[in-house]
């Protein structure tokens, strides 16, 4: 009887571990993998200074962002340790954490966000979250006062 219990544990434990790991990967869906920052700007509704706009845009272009199972690997502002993922549906008025206010519809259109878009909500271990919104073949995310546009290397 003891032998059978140990054998069952050997089968079920790895299976359970596989399901947990696979669920993280599935939570990312089509967002998983490496993306490249192709544009950074500070929309008028974000209210950032022009000098800082140029500095951040110049240093962030070309940055790699890799959605891995437990982190968003990036050397810049989009990095996130102990990440958890959730694909969610948000209203246009809720994009960019609601910061676009009355301009939300225009902000969505200028970012290339079409109706029926999906959003990858990444919650970091420190409690901060970043929403990555689908915009055609790219993703857009607001971090601080800056709007980042990301594309896959093969889609450029």
> What is the DSSP code string of 87-117?
EE---GGGGGGGTTGGGHHHHHHHHTPPTT-
From CA 78, how far away is CA 97, in angstroms rounded?
A: 15
pLDDT tens, residue by residue, 78-135: 999 999 999 999 999 999 988 888 889 999 999 999 888 999 999 999 999 999 999 9
The answer to whether 87 and 118 are in contact (CB under 8 A) is yes
Neighbours of 28 (CB within 10 A): 20
Specify the length of the chain in residues: 156
pLDDT tens, residue by residue, 57-73: 556 778 999 999 999 99
- Percentage of residues in the chain with pLDDT exceeding 90? 54
From CA 155, how far away is CA 7, in angstroms rounded?
A: 47
pLDDT tens, residue by residue, 103-113: 899 999 999 99
């Amino acid at each position: 009887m003891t032998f059978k219990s140990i054998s069952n544990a050997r089968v079920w434990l790895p299976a359970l571990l596989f399901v947990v790991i696979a669920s993280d990967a599935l939570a990312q869906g089509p967002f998983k993998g490496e993306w490249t920052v192709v544009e950074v700007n500070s929309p008028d509704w974000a209210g950032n200074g022009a000098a800082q706009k140029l500095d951040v845009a110049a240093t962030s272009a070309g940055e790699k962002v890799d959605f891995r199972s437990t982190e968003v690997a990036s050397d810049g502002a989009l990095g996130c340790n102990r990440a958890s993922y959730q694909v969610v549906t948000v209203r246009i008025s809720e994009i960019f954490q609601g910061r676009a206010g009355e301009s939300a519809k225009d902000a969505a259109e200028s970012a290339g966000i079409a109706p029926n878009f999906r959003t990858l909500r990444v919650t970091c271990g420190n409690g901060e979250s970043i929403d990555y919104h689908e915009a055609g073949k790219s993703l857009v995310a607001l971090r601080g006062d800056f709007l980042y546009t990301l594309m896959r290397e093969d889609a450029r």
